[in-house]
């Protein structure tokens, strides 16, 4: 049985693997769809900030048994990995072309998200509705952002 504490240690590694897949082509892909466009520098800055937050969340979750810390982990994983993984899959299907990040999104982000959320629900023993609400709240900004990118050619941030 995998714990949130163990899964948390995988978060920064999986994040780095995802950025490595995205980095060579994501900015070009994104800019082919979205106005205003982004630069490679902005892409790297956003991902550097995401990595620092992911590392902090991973350390907090791996060192704590507090349900509130696990819920912070659920919110962050839902935002960064669950919703982002779905964004890459939907974008690939809708535009019928490779969305950089879809491979790690589908095979690493989505499974790790489900495992992490399930482990957090089991370990915190909080009602499923609480876990689902936190996951939904965490995922919502990325879902909106993804919708704008894929279907409207704009962005939230």
Mean pLDDT per 10-residue segment, the chain (157 residues): 91 98 97 95 98 98 96 98 98 98 98 98 96 98 97 90
How far is 33 from 11, CA to CA, in rounded Å?
29
DSSP alpha helices (H): ranges in 23-154?
A: 26-31, 40-63, 67-77, 84-95, 102-104, 110-124, 128-147
pLDDT score for 2: 80
H/E run at residue 102? helix 102-104
How far is 46 from 141, CA to CA, in rounded Å?
15
pLDDT score for 1: 64
Instruction: Answer yes or no: are the C-beta atoms of 58 and 117 closer than 8 Å.
Output: no
pTM for this entry = 0.96
Q: Where are the domains of the chain?
A: 4-152
Residue 81 DSSP one-character state? I
């Amino acid at each position: 049985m995998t714990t949130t504490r163990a899964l948390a240690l995988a978060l920064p590694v999986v994040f780095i693997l995802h950025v490595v897949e995205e980095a060579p082509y994501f900015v070009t892909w994104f800019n082919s769809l979205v106005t205003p466009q982004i630069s490679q520098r902005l892409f790297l800055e956003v991902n550097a900030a995401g990595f620092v937050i992911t590392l902090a969340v991973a350390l907090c979750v791996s060192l704590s048994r507090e349900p509130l810390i696990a819920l912070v982990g659920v919110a962050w994983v839902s935002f960064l990995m669950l919703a982002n993984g779905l964004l890459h899959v939907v974008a690939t299907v809708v535009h019928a072309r490779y969305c950089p990040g879809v491979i790690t999104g589908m095979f690493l982000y989505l499974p790790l998200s489900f495992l992490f959320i399930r482990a957090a629900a089991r370990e915190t023993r909080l009602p499923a509705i609480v876990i689902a609400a936190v996951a939904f709240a965490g995922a919502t900004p990325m879902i909106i952002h993804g919708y704008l990118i894929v279907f409207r050619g704009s962005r939230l941030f």
